[in-house]
Amino acid sequence: MQPAAILESALYVTDLDAAEAFYGEVLGLERIARVEGRHVFFRCGTGVLLLFDAGATSQPPAPGARLPVPPHGTQGPGHLCFAATADEIARWKAHLEARGVTVEADFEWPPKPGEAKGGRSIYFRDPSGNSLEFAEPKIWGI
């Protein structure tokens, strides 16, 4: 038995307002929930991107909390990759650069056996320093 899919992905941010503006305005994701000082959540395709304030989520829930989610969090930059076609990656690169977002890397992965060409990836950072990527799913054989 194995899981069918990833439903949620989480990143930890240092500034919820800056994260909300970046993911909502620059990346165009739909905000679906926000709790001031704790988290902001976005819809992304069929999944959900959870952005947490690591300091707030590392604390245990208050006694009698409505949602007794166990504490969690991390420190330092995380990584998340968004799926995109080669044409979409070219458009994303131009869009990001037009918004003042530095693209740190733009390259093609080596081709898999039997393929003529590898998939393309671009890397950039969110305001909290998390490493974000747009990549062709074929880099993973998808």
Q: What is the pLDDT of residue 84?
A: 97
pLDDT band with cut points at 50, 70 and 90 for residue 9: very high
Mean pLDDT lowest among 35-39, 70-74, 120-124: 70-74
Give the whole-angstrom CA distance, residue 61 versus residue 70.
Answer: 7
Domain segments of the chain as ranges = 8-57, 79-140
CATH class of 79-140: alpha beta
Superfamily for the 8-57 domain: 2,3-Dihydroxybiphenyl 1,2-Dioxygenase, domain 1 (3.10.180.10)
Model pLDDT for residues 83-100, shown as the tens digit of each residue: 999 999 999 999 999 999
Q: What is the pLDDT of residue 115?
A: 83
Tokens at residue 56, please?
């707030």
Average pLDDT, the chain: 93
Give the whole-angstrom CA distance, residue 38 versus residue 35.
Answer: 6
Distances (CA, A) of 141 to 26, 111, 135, 137: 28, 10, 12, 7
| Model pTM score | 0.92
Q: What is the pLDDT of residue 23?
A: 98
Question: Are the folds of 8-57 and 79-140 the same?
Answer: yes
Residue 68 has pLDDT above 80, yes or no: no
